[in-house]
A and B are shown apart, each in its own frame.
Chain A
Amino acid sequence: MSWKLFELLVQASLYTVLISFISITIGLAIGIVVSAASLSSQRALSIPARTFVSFFRGAPLLVQLLLIYNLLPALGLNVPSVVAAIAGLSLCTAAYQAENLRGGFQSVPRGLLEAADMAGLSAFQQFRRIRAPIALRLAFPSLVNEAIMILKASSLVSVVGIVELTRMAQDLAASTYRPIELFSAAGLLYLIINWLIASGGSLFERSFRWGRP
């Protein structure tokens, strides 16, 4: 396999990283809202949130991607396929992250919230200053795991025609008749990126410890 092919794969892997990163970020934002809603005492909020989490964790990601990819044009929204792909990945990861964050929110010590009440913090201030930082810190290891899952799952967006790492390897394998080399190289790139995420995550995790702001 020539360097030229490998270069193409590396470029495509940057696209994979970009798609995954955007999806994780959007998913985190949605996940925070959904987890807050699912913990709400108002059933009008908690039931839809829990249904959302259950559905997006229950249906296969491939089916979700195909559905969103075809649903958006059917609703009259003509968006580029990459937007549909990011929407699908974001919704799926939002459900998983909401579940992780729910665990985080539930483990916030009650005493801290009572102290915050005593100190006169409003509900929003409590969320912003106490609950969200602690929950995010507790859920951080699972967030890193989720980032790795999404990076691997992003290979599925190749089926809606986005030329990321998997699709690039597939196209090159079809034109060069060298599937073994190309798919192995693509796998190696996924491994390297995952390793980077995992080591970056544990470095970052070490930099904040429990109880420190």
Chain B
Amino acid sequence: MNFDTNLIVSIMPELARAFGVTLLTWGFGVIGAVILGFMVAVGRRYGGAWLNYPLWLCVEVIRGTPFLIQLFLLYYGGPFVGISLDPIPAGLLGLTVYGAAYFSEIFRAGFEAVPPGHVEAAECVGLNRPQIIRRIMIPEMTMLVLPASVNMAIILLKETAVLSIITVPELTLVISAIGSQQYAFVESLFLLALFYWGLVELSGRLGRFMEVRLSKYRFVTT
């Protein structure tokens, strides 16, 4: 095997763009999933039975089916019901909805871990529901849900590789395309696996570092 520096330089821009797409879908996917998941968790807690059961069903369906099937349904089935999306928006939407189902369960557990006494005390001093959520629930549960949330964010990073199947031009798709053009498929996939591994390890370390730094804000001791 000869080592070709020009080749590596020539594919750099393409790799950088692909890495950008991976980071973009991951970042926005996680942010969207956290927001949507939080809304689902709040809806299930305060929305009454009419909101709770449909949302429960949605969450269970999303958690019980493979991500790939959901993506196919959205990307190939969408145009039949008037949702024609390009690969990147479709992947982003799919990742957001998929992640939201898992985040909503994390937040639900977080809500349940807030001592009822704190909420009752807040009601007694006259805080209304949005104030209770903002002033009591969110601050108290943030530390509790942080480890599970970091874990979920890392799972979503790995799921971005699946987006290559619906032709989102992210790292896995671009690197396997370059690899097969250059007859170095195994080598490039191996480097790709190592790269993801490093990224996951790094994110995990960062998450644990954050947990340690933020642990002084832990309100609830269980």
> In angstroms, how far is the closest chain B Cβ from the Cβ of A131?
28
Q: Tell me, yes or no, whether B66 is within 8 Å of chain A by CB.
A: yes
Minimum CB–CB distance from B198 to chain A (whole Å) comes to 8
Residues of A within 8 A of B49 (CB): none
Q: Say if the beta carbon of A194 comes within 8 Å of chain B.
A: yes
Q: Which residues, 46 to 78 on B, are CB-close (under 8 Å) to A?
A: 60-61, 64-70, 72-73, 76-77
Flag A115-128 by CB within 8 Å of B: 1 or 0 each. Answer: 00000000000000
What CA separation (Å) do A195 and B64 show in the bound complex?
8
* B-contact bits for A69-109, CB 8 A (1 contact / 0 none): 01100100000000000000000000000000000000000
The answer to whether the Cβ of A59 comes within 8 Å of any Cβ in the partner chain is yes
The residues of B that contact A70 with a CB separation of less than 8 Å are 185-186, 189
A67 close to B (CB within 8 Å): yes
Cβ contact within 8 Å between B64 and A71: no
1/0 contact trace for A10-45 toward B, CB 8 Å?
Answer: 000000000000000000000000000000000000
Whether, in the assembled complex, A6 has its beta carbon less than 8 Å from a beta carbon of chain B, the answer is no
Interface range on chain B: under 10, 10 to 19, 20 to 34, or 35 or more?
35 or more
CB of A111 closer than 8 Å to a CB of B: no
* A61 close to B158 (CB less than 8 A): yes
Whether A191 contacts B64 by the Cβ 8 Å rule is: yes
Residue A133, interface by CB 8 Å: no
Tell me what chain B mostly uses at the interface: helix, strand, loop, or mixed: helix
The answer to whether B68 and A155 touch across the interface, beta carbons within 8 angstroms, is: yes
Which of A71, A170, A180 sits near B80, CB closer than 8 Å?
Answer: A180
Contact at A63–B69, with CB atoms within 8 Å?
Answer: no
Shortest C-beta distance, A122 to chain B (Å), equals 38
Size of the chain A interface, CB-CB below 8 angstroms: 37
Contact digits for A162-177, partner B, Cβ 8 Å, 1 yes 0 no: 0000100110010000
Tell me the bound Cα distance from A74 to B189 in angstroms: 13
How far, in angstroms, from A153 to B66 measured CA to CA in the complex? 7
Q: How far is it, in angstroms, between the C-alpha of A184 and the C-alpha of B65 when the chains are bound?
A: 10
Complex partner residue of B192 from A63, A71, A179, CB under 8 angstroms: A63
B165 interfacial by beta-carbon distance below 8 Å:
yes
Q: How distant is B62 from chain A, measured CB to nearest CB, in Å?
A: 9
Judge if A8 is at the interface, Cβ distance under 8 Å. no
Question: Are B64 and A63 in contact (CB-based, < 8 A)?
Answer: no
Q: Are B201 and A54 in contact (CB under 8 A)?
A: yes
A66→B164 CA distance, assembly (Å): 12
Question: B161 on the interface (CB 8 Å rule)?
Answer: yes
Q: Kindly state whether residue B193 has any CB partner on chain A within 8 Å.
A: yes
Give the contacts of B67-122 with A (CB-CB under 8 A). 67-70, 72-73, 76-77, 80-81
Are A74 and B77 within 8 A (Cβ)? no
* In the assembled complex, A152 has its CB within 8 A of some CB on chain B: yes
B172 touches A67 (CB 8 A): no
**A186→B66 CA distance, assembly (Å):** 10
In the complex, whether A158 has a CB less than 8 A from a CB of chain B is yes
Q: Does A140 contact B (CB under 8 A)?
A: no
Given A190-B65, A191-B61: A63 in contact with B196 (beta carbons within 8 A):
yes
CB distance from B97 to the nearest CB of A (A): 13
Contact A59 B193 (CB under 8 A): yes
For the complex, give the distance between the alpha carbons of A74 and B184 in Å: 11
- CB neighbours (8 Å) of A153 from chain B are 66
* In the A-B complex, the 7 residue pairs with the closest CB atoms: A60-B161, A155-B66, A58-B197, A180-B77, A59-B193, A179-B76, A58-B200
In the complex, 15 of the A-B residue pairs with CB atoms within 8 angstroms, ordered by the A residue number, are A54-B197, A58-B200, A59-B193, A60-B158, A63-B161, A63-B172, A63-B189, A63-B196, A64-B193, A152-B64, A166-B66, A166-B68, A179-B73, A180-B77, A190-B66
- The interface of chain B, by Cβ under 8 A from chain A, is 60-61, 64-70, 72-73, 76-77, 80-81, 158-162, 164-165, 172, 176, 185-186, 189-190, 192-194, 196-198, 200-201
